[in-house]
Every structure is written in C-alpha cells, then in structure tokens.
Amino acid sequence: MADRESNWPVDLAHVALTDVGMRRANNQDSHTVVLASDPQEWRVRGHFFMVADGMGAHAAGELASKIAVDGVPHLYRKYRELSPPEAMQKAIVETNSEVYRRGQANSDFRAMGTTASAMALLPQGALIGHIGDSRVYRVRGTKLHQLTRDHSLVWELREAGQLEGDSELANSVPKNVITRSLGPNAHVKVDIEGPYKVAVGDTFLLCSDGLMARVTDEEIAATLRNLATQEAAQLLVDLANLRGGPDNITVIVARVTGSELASLESDAAPIKIGTVKHDPKSELAFLVAIAVFFLAALLLSVIGNMPASLGALVIGLTVGLVGFLIRKRNEAKGIELGTGRKLGKGPYTSADCPESSEFAASLAKITAELRRAPAAGKYEIDWTEFDLLCQNAEGATAESRHEDAIRESARAVSLLMENIRQAMNKEASDSAIEL
C-alpha cells in the first residue's frame, strides 16, 4: 500500500493545453485538473477535470470561467456527505449563484457567463456535470462518443426536428448561440451524465468550442487514437489555429492506461443517489436519550426500585431500536447507479475513427500544403527541421508504419505553429495559414 501511494496517481496519462487562438487578444477559457491525492481520496471523489469557456464584455468572461473552475471542484469535494452525482450537481448550482451574484454586484460584469464541462474519474466510472456547448468526448477502440449534449440553438432546433443535416436553413443558424450557461441567471439546470464505465485505453477529451468549430469529429477521433496525450492535445490546438483560430482553444486529454482506474474491472460498490443522509443532531439526541434511560435504570436499581429500573431499561432499549431502524430505513432508500442504469441519455453522437493510413495521408497533405502556403513565407520557419520530419513521415508511410507517420507529421505541424507563435509573440491577429 505504501509503495502504491508513493507512485500515485497510477494508470493515468493526462495533459491540459489552452491557447488564445489567432484572432483574440484575451483568453476567456479556464480549465483545471485536480487529481486525487491518494487512493482513498480517489475512491471517494475521483480525479477531477474541467473546462469553462467564458463570455461577456471586458474581462467578464475571464472572471466567470475562473470562478467556475475554482468553485466547482472545491464545492464538489466539500460536500462529502453527498454522493458524487449529487455533490457535482450542488457544486455547479452553487457556483452559478456565485457567478450571478458577482455579475449583479458590478455593472461591468452583469450577465457574464460561462460554459462548464466537468468530469470525475471514479471507481464506478466517468461522471460528468455539464452546462453550455463545451464538450466531453470519449474514444474507445475505433469509436468516438460525445458524452455531453450541446445547449445551443442549433442542437435545440435539430432535436425539435426543425433542422436537417447540412440544409441551407441549418447552415444559416448561428452555431455560437447557446441556450444554457452558468452565471447569467439566478437559477440553472445542470446535466449530470453517467457514470460511464471506463475501460483500459479509454481516452477522454474535454474541450471548448474553439476546437470543435475548426476540427472535425473524425480528426479528433484519429488524433486521440493514434498519438500520446501530449502530442494529441498539441495537434488538436495546432489544427484549430491553422484553420483560422478565431476563438480561444482549450483541451484536456486524459487516458486510462491500466486496470487500476478501469471501472469495468472494478469491484467498487455502486453509487447510490437519493438516500436520506444521517442527521448528526438527531443521532446525538437518540444517544443522549438512551444514556439518560440507562442511567435512570442504574440509579433506580441502586435504590432498590427494580420495577421502575426495569421499565427505564426497556424504554432505553426501545429508543435505541427505533433509532437503529430509522437509520437502516434511510440507508435503504435511494437508487443505485450501475449495470444498465446511469444518469443522462448519452452518448449523444458517435463517429468512426478513420484508418491510421487514411489519417496519415490526410496529415501528409496538410504538411505539403503548408510547405507551399504563401502566408507561411511571412514567418521565420525552421524549414530544415520541418522537411526532415516530413521525410520521416513519408518513409514511415512507405513501410506501412502509419502511427509513426502520423507522429512525424504532427510534429511537423506543431513545429511550424510554434515558429509562428513565437513570431507573433502571442498578439491578436487576423492571420491564418490558408490551406
């Protein structure tokens, strides 16, 4: 046990990246990763990940998202008497109240808001709390699943049957209009999803809409399936920026690498929601009453009044039995979440991961176009290193080492974008590499 705790956390690879994008002066996204400090903490509250995409004039969006990523994990861990889903729900609702209060107190921050997508990796699986249009994805095998539902006008209209596919009407509806967020209103409805069972190799992605607006689900799936967490996160950010990067981009990638965190192999007790929690004051009152009657029985026996002593003893035992039965009845209430039962209706969408060879060819095409792009000539690029990485990718493809080819092409893309970032010095710009 000591060795296990010294190496904690185990069986988890994760990375978080945020980028201002190519056209924004400020980053209104916030994120946090709070890992359980030891196995006991993990069993109770799990590892916690969260992305928030703020909105509002001036610095309002930045403040709203910061309050969210500070408040939700703190409150989630604070309410230890609640089950994880109930604690997640309460934490988000109370954080909404705080963002709303801060907004009402200062006219500069009025109506500020933020999305909130939080995930806890527990022994029972992945539990998600969600508001807005940031997303939580999972890649398992060859499938990408979207585990959250967008609270956006587009999704609402599609679910109502008023939009079809890529119709002219569908393309005319603004995709950035959200119907639910944390902060603008005093009350908010929170989606709680899961717990989704976790298998070894599952890779989770939490991201703001700055990613999804520029990178397809199929590209997300292939990136997460074929690359290590750090390289995957970096490539996703770089692809979004290469295609204009009009918004802030935040990604958290978490991969389960061993059986310790795999709920499919766990014998953890199911999560139970809706139970009546123990009231310490009521339990103390029962204990005091029992003690009083037992003490009375003792004193009465000492003075020789045995009938009264026996009566006090019987009453004390009856009070104790009633208290015990009430406690057991309350423990029996509630709903167990487990096999065949979870919260929410996800997954909401699914996509197939492209074959590694197909994705390798797609990245090779991107790097070739980057090499020829006139806009790239404005920046000081290390073309020698870039060309070497592209040649490595070509060689790997020729030998059918498609994962190696993907890795080399991803490094070429990241090298070019790092050179551009350094040249721009992270200033707001209308620049993009047009492919």
Find the mean pLDDT for residues 38-51: 96
Domain boundary among 297, 322, 353: 353
Query: For 319-335, what is each residue's pLDDT tens digit?
Result: 778 877 776 666 556 78
| Residue 222 sits in the same domain as residue 90 | yes
Is residue 88 one of the residues assigned to a domain?
Answer: yes
Residues 173 and 54 in one domain: yes
Does any domain span residue 432? no
Q: In what order do the strands lie in the sheet with 249-256?
A: 12-19, 249-256, 203-207, 135-140, 143-146, 349-352
Residues 98 and 39 occupy one common structural domain: yes
Is the residue at 434 inside a domain? no
Residue 231 lies inside a defined structural domain of this protein: yes
pLDDT tens column, 363-415: 999 999 998 886 666 778 899 999 999 999 999 999 999 999 999 999 999 99
CATH code assigned at 52:
3.60.40.10
Looking at the structure, do residues 14 and 37 belong to the same domain, yes or no?
yes
Same domain? For 238 and 301 the reply is no
Reported as a single tens digit per residue, the pLDDT across 136-145 is 999 999 999 9
By residue range, what is the domain housing residue 17? 2-271+341-353
Same domain, 320 and 188: no
* Residues 328 and 420 placed together within one structural domain of the fold: no
Same structural domain for residues 22 and 157? yes
Q: What is the pLDDT of residue 428?
A: 46
